[in-house]
Amino acid sequence: MNRKSLLSLLLAGLLLLAGCGQSGSQEKSGGLLSQIKEKGEIVVAMEGTWAPWTYHDENDQLVGYDVEVAQRIAEKLGVKATFVEGEFDGLLAGVDAGRYDIMVNGVGVDEDRSQKYDFTDAYAYDRTAVIVKNDNTDITSLEDLTGKRTANTITSTYAKLAEKYGAEVTGVDDLNQTFELLFTGRIDATLNAEVSYYDYLKAHPDADIKIACLAPESTLIAIPVPKGETALVSAINDALAELRADGTLSELSMKYFEMDISQE
């Protein structure tokens, strides 16, 4: 074989590899979305214990803002939503491992999570409240958390914020466990969504708690998707845009929070 023929073969081989690489990239970008549509369902991870985002009603039915948002997204994708419940700290790991397609559970966007997941556009905005017992006068600002004891699910943005301001954070499984620690004096405060605080008070009007202060900025709430699944992110963003435009997100917000958290 002469030198010219050898070079031609090498060039053809390189072009073939480049084509395969491009095809593989396209398959990855549309991979999970294609699988979801092929099986006709999207597996959604959520806690089921965090009212009014995702919880069980008096008939033990899974309900909440995030439940209905996920169902509407599934409808837009032309599939059904299958919900899997678990503790918050294990749900994101389940998305990593491929056990769940997405997680819809009031997930706040932060720098650490953005390095591990691709996020959709925000579909809600959350103000973080520092919650204490009514007789607590030591905490009136985030800066007062230094040296104090708080409790949250360890991987939550609330725990990270408390640690940022010098608090010692105890890990818990859900909001009810957090309030048990607060009422018994084993922690000084807990950080959580302002809307979850008001929802808890609605169910427990005599609860011995108050909001000591609010974080100055809202947290963007979005849906984490495995890295590289750009087609799925785009499809969910299209669905969210339609739900925002036709007023569905606002209606669901008013239904569950009595305020519109879909607007910043």
What average pLDDT does the segment 33-54 reach? 97
CA distances, 178 to each of 37, 81, 248 (Å): 39, 29, 32
Q: pLDDT tens digits, residue range 196-211?
A: 999 999 999 999 999 9
Q: pLDDT tens digits, residue range 135-175?
A: 999 999 999 999 999 999 988 999 999 999 999 999 998 88
State residue 30's pLDDT score.
54
Q: Does residue 17 register a pLDDT over 60?
A: no
Which stretches within 83-192 are classed as H helix? 88-97, 111-116, 157-164, 175-183
Strand 80-85 with 102-103, pairing: unpaired
- Rounded to whole angstroms, how far apart are CA atoms 192 and 168? 16
- Rounded to whole angstroms, how far apart are CA atoms 131 and 150? 10
State residue 5's pLDDT score.
44
State residue 26's pLDDT score.
37
State residue 89's pLDDT score.
83
Q: Please name which of 98, 41, 137 lies closest in space to residue 225, comparing C-alpha atoms.
A: 98
State residue 264's pLDDT score.
83
Q: Does residue 19 register a pLDDT over 90?
A: no
pTM for the model: 0.78
What are 88's two structure tokens? Answer: 């918050």
Q: Give the three-class secondary structure for 50.
A: strand
Segment (H or E) for 124: strand 124-126
DSSP 8-state code for residue 190: E
Q: How many CB atoms lie within 10 A of CB 181?
A: 17
State phi, psi for 78 to the nearest 5 degrees.
80, 25
Q: Please name which of 163, 147, 142, 124 lies closest in space to residue 214, comparing C-alpha atoms.
A: 142
What average pLDDT does the segment 85-110 reach? 94
- Rounded to whole angstroms, how far apart are CA atoms 139 and 179? 17
Cβ neighbourhood burial of 133 (10 Å; 0-12, 13-18, 19+): middle
Q: Does residue 101 register a pLDDT over 80?
A: yes
Residue 161 in contact with residue 191, Cβ under 8 Å? yes
Q: Does residue 133 register a pLDDT over 90?
A: yes
Q: pLDDT tens digits, residue range 4-13?
A: 444 444 444 4
The rounded percent of the chain whose pLDDT value lies above 70 is: 89
Residue 48 in contact with residue 54, Cβ under 8 Å? yes
What average pLDDT does the segment 9-32 reach? 46
Can you name the residues that pair with 237 across neighbouring β-strands?
A: none
Q: pLDDT tens digits, residue range 213-250?
A: 999 989 999 999 999 999 999 999 999 999 999 999 99
Confidence of residue 37 (pLDDT cuts 50, 70, 90): very high
Q: How many CB atoms lie within 10 A of CB 201?
A: 14
Instruction: Please provide the size of the chain in residues.
Output: 264
Cβ neighbourhood burial of 155 (10 Å; 0-12, 13-18, 19+): middle
